[in-house]
Amino acid sequence: MSTGYIYDPIFLQHTVAGHVESPERLQAIMSRLEQDGILSNLKQISFIPAKEENLRLVHTQEMIQRVRSAASKGPSWLDMDTYVSPDSYRVALAAVGGGMELVSQIASGVITNGIALLRPPGHHATANRSMGFCLFNNIALAARYLQKHHQLEKIAIIDWDVHHGNGTQEIFYQDPSVFYMSTHLYPHYPGTGGKLEIGEGKGCSTTLNFPLGHGCTRDQYIKYFDQGLEIIKKFHPDFILISAGFDSHADDPLGGLGLYEEDFGLLTTKICEVAKETCQDRVASFLEGGYNLEKLTASVVHHINALLEYRP
């Protein structure tokens, strides 16, 4: 069994000059993984772009049309943070398709676990709105794909990005089959993720937020993270997805939560231990934030090395 990864140069074609969510993020990651000899230990997964019908697993037709139309008109902005370039719709379909293929390979037992090194990121995208650098919600779409095409009933999503994944939370807020846990800086963009946001209706108690303040120490963070994992164990998921935002690093320009690169390896190991106990080691991570290129690449190395250690 092996650890897989998704990457394609198409992910570099979503770009606008001067934006912090840039192709250089992925270029730096791939360069570091090759330099450190890690790529040779991973299995690259081939994939095809998602179709529009795949997007409708989560998103409204109006939202899909809005992104496609904006991209067709050339460089433009969907909000003050979120841009589209002429290739962005095509790139976003590729990102969604890559994520779906990664989780499909894991669910089918072809690989043990893996990472989707893709962009644009996804966890801020709601069912009907692109926002926060995110066009479509890659991880939410992967969760729905697992449920529809692999008949996996219960999915856990763990989000360690410094920003709360408001889109993912909203999509599953009334759904008892998807458990969403987030550790994030609060108050901070996008302003959601308070302790009292626990889900509603049938989804009550399947949303778990740890809003952490400025000055949160590494030890405090890990204490809360461990508490969350104990609750996820009781949920007993069939698959664990990670919104892997590395802007929780203490030196990230857009956030910082007192974590350092080696801590992402520790968090990954903890998640893999839960996955071994509950869901046959099935773990897939999706790249979200991380904007200090040196710290981003080092953190990804620790994260992937931890995934590699958990191959049976």
Active site residues: 124
β-bridge mates for residue 181, sequence order: 158, 208
Question: 109, 104, 108, 113: which is closest to 143 by C-alpha?
Answer: 104
**CB-CB contact of 107 with 279 (8 Å):** no
> What is the C-alpha separation between 61 and 49, in angstroms, rounded?
18
Q: Is the dihedral of CA 68, 284, 258, 11 positive or negative?
A: negative
Burial (0-12, 13-18, 19+ Cβ within 10 Å), 48: exposed
Measured CA distances, 256 to 143, 161, 209, 242, 302 (Å): 27, 10, 17, 18, 17
Spatial CB neighbours of 208, under 8 Å, sequence gap ≥ 6: 179, 180, 181, 182, 198, 228, 231
**CB-CB contact of 240 with 228 (8 Å):** no
Ramachandran sector of residue 230 (left: φ over 0; alpha: ψ -120 to 50; beta: rest): alpha
